[in-house]
Amino acid sequence: MDTILNQIIHGLMLGVMYSLVAVGFTLFFGVLNLVQFAHGEIFMVGAFLGLIILNLLHSFLGIDSPAILLLICFIGSSALTALFGLLFGRITIRPIKDAPPVIALLTTLGAGISIRFFVMAFYPAGSQPQNFPGYLPDWQTEVHGVLLRFDSLFILVGGILLILGTYLFINKTKMGIAMRAVAQDRETASMMGVNINRVIDTTFVVSGVLAACAGIFNGLYYRQIIFDMGAIYGVIGFSAAVIGGLGSILGAIVGGFLFALLASFTSAFIPGGSAYRFVTAFAFLIFVLVIMPKGILQASRGKRET
Amino acid sequence: MSSHTLKELLLVVCCLVISWALFIAVLLITNLFLVFAVILVAGLVIYGFSRWERGKASIVQAFQRQSRFAQVSMIVIFLCLPFILRSSPYWILILTLAILWIIVALGINIQFGSAGIINLGAAAFYGVGAYTAGMFATRLGTPPLLNLLLGAVMSTIVGSLLFIPLLKTKSHYLALVTIAFVMAFHNLLNNAEWLGGAQGIVGIPLMSVAGYSFTQEIKIWGLKLPSQANFYYLALLLGGLLGAASWRLWNSWVGLTWNSINEGTGDELSAKCMGVTAGRWSMIAFTIGNFYIGLAGAFYSHMTTFISPPDITFYQSLLFLSAVILGGVDSIPGVCLAAVLLVILPEKLRAFQQYWVMFFGIILVLMLILRRKGLIPARIRSYMRGIRPTSESLKTPGGPR
Question: What 3 state SS string does chain B have?
Answer: CCHHHHHHHHHHHHHHHHHHHHHHHHHHCCCHHHHHHHHHHHHHHHHHHHHCHHHHHHHHHHHHHCHHHHHHHHHHHHHHHHHHCCCCHHHHHHHHHHHHHHHHHHHHHHHHHHCCCCCCCHHHHHHHHHHHHHHHHHHHCCCHHHHHHHHHHHHHHHHHHHHHHHHHCCHHHHHHHHHHHHHHHHHHHHHCHHHCHHHCECCCCCCEECCEECCCCEEECCEEECCHHHHHHHHHHHHHHHHHHHHHHHHCHHHHHHHHHCCCCCCHHHHHHCCCCHHHHHHHHHHHHHHHHHHHHHHHHHHHCCECHHHCCHHHHHHHHHHHHHHCCCCHHHHHHHHHHHHHHHHHCHHHHHHHHHHHHHHHHHHHHHCCCCCCCCCCCCCCCCCCCCHHHHHCCCCCC
B180, B361, B362: residue with CB nearest A286: B180
Q: Which residues of B touch A113 (CB under 8 A)?
A: 315, 318, 357-358, 360-361
Quote the minimal CA–CA distance from A24 to chain B in Å. 16
Q: Which residues of A touch B365 (CB under 8 A)?
A: 92, 107, 110-111, 114
Assign B400 a pLDDT band (cuts: 50, 70, 90): very low
Listed ranges A5-14, B111-120, B124-133, B274-283; the one with the highest mean pLDDT: B124-133
> Minimal CA–CA distance to A108: which of A122, A95, A121, A120?
A95
Cα–Cα distance list, B122 to B125, B258, B279, B300 (Å): 5, 19, 20, 14
**Window from A98-112, B115-129, B301-315, B377-391 with minimum mean pLDDT:** B377-391
Q: Is A141 helix (H, G, I), strand (E, B) or coil?
A: strand
Rounded Cα distance, A258 and A295, in Å? 13
pLDDT at B46: 77
Q: If interface means Cβ-Cβ distance under 8 Å, which residues of chain B face chain A?
A: 118, 164-165, 168-173, 175-177, 179-181, 183-184, 187-188, 190-191, 263-264, 314-315, 318, 321-322, 325, 354-355, 357-362, 364-365, 368-369, 372
Q: What are phi and psi of B209, to 5 degrees?
A: -120, 115
What's the count of helices (H) and strands (E) in chain A, helices before strands? Answer: 12, 4
Q: Is A18 helix (H, G, I), strand (E, B) or coil?
A: helix
**pLDDT tens digits, B195-247:** 777 787 887 878 777 767 777 777 777 777 787 888 888 899 999 999 999 99
Q: Give me the domains of chain A, ranges plus CATH numbers.
A: 2-301 (1.10.3470)
Q: Which residues of B touch A278 (CB under 8 A)?
A: 183-184, 187
Q: Is the pLDDT of residue B386 over 70?
A: no
Taking an 8 Å cut-off on Cβ atoms, the answer to whether A293 and B169 are in contact is yes
Q: Which residues of B touch A30 (CB under 8 A)?
A: none
Question: Can you name the residues that pair with B213 across neighbouring β-strands?
Answer: B208
Residue in chain A nearest B365 by alpha carbon: A107
pTM of the model: 0.85
**pLDDT tens digits, B69-92:** 888 888 888 888 888 887 788 888
Q: Which residues of A touch B168 (CB under 8 A)?
A: 289-290, 293
Quote the minimal CA–CA distance from A281 to chain B in Å. 8
Residue in chain A nearest B265 by alpha carbon: A100
Q: Is the pLDDT of residue B50 over 60?
A: yes
> Exposed, middle or buried: residue B211 (CB in 10 Å: 0-12, 13-18, 19+)?
exposed
Q: Which residues of B touch A92 (CB under 8 A)?
A: 365, 369
Q: What is the CA A75 to chain-centroid distance, rounded? A: 17
Q: Which residues of B touch A293 (CB under 8 A)?
A: 168-170, 173
Q: What percentage of residues in chain B have a pLDDT greater than 70?
A: 95
Amino acid at A211: A
Indicate the DSSP class of residue A133.
P
Neighbours of B123 (CB within 10 A): 27
Find which of B369, B370, B371, B372 to mutate to test the A interface (most A CBs within 10 Å of its CB).
B369
Rounded Cα distance, B33 and B323, in Å? 26
Domain ranges of chain B: 1-84, 90-395
B171, B188, B315: residue with CB nearest A279: B188
B188, B264, B368: residue with CB nearest A106: B368
CATH code of the domain made up of B90-395: 1.10.3470
Identify whether the C-beta of residue B356 lies closer than 8 Å to the C-beta of residue B346. Answer: yes
Identify whether the C-beta of residue B400 lies closer than 8 Å to the C-beta of residue B393. Answer: yes
Quote the minimal CA–CA distance from B134 to chain A in Å. 23
Rounded Cα distance, A256 and A249, in Å? 11
> Minimal CA–CA distance to A281: which of B364, B188, B315, B400?
B188
**Would you write out chain A's pLDDT as a tens digit for each of its 306 residues?**
677 787 888 888 888 888 999 988 888 888 887 888 889 999 999 999 998 888 888 887 777 777 788 888 889 999 999 999 999 988 888 888 777 777 888 888 889 989 988 888 888 887 888 888 877 777 777 777 677 778 888 888 888 899 899 889 988 899 888 988 888 888 888 888 888 888 888 989 999 999 999 999 888 888 888 888 888 888 888 888 888 877 788 888 888 888 888 888 887 777 666 667 777 777 888 888 778 777 676 544 444 444
Rounded Cα distance, A218 and A223, in Å? 8
Q: Give the pLDDT mean for B135-147.
A: 85
Q: What is the CA A48 to chain-centroid distance, rounded? A: 15
Q: Is the pLDDT of residue B171 over 80?
A: no
Rounded Cα distance, B303 and B339, in Å? 18
Amino acid at B123: A
Q: Which residues of A touch B318 (CB under 8 A)?
A: 109-110, 113
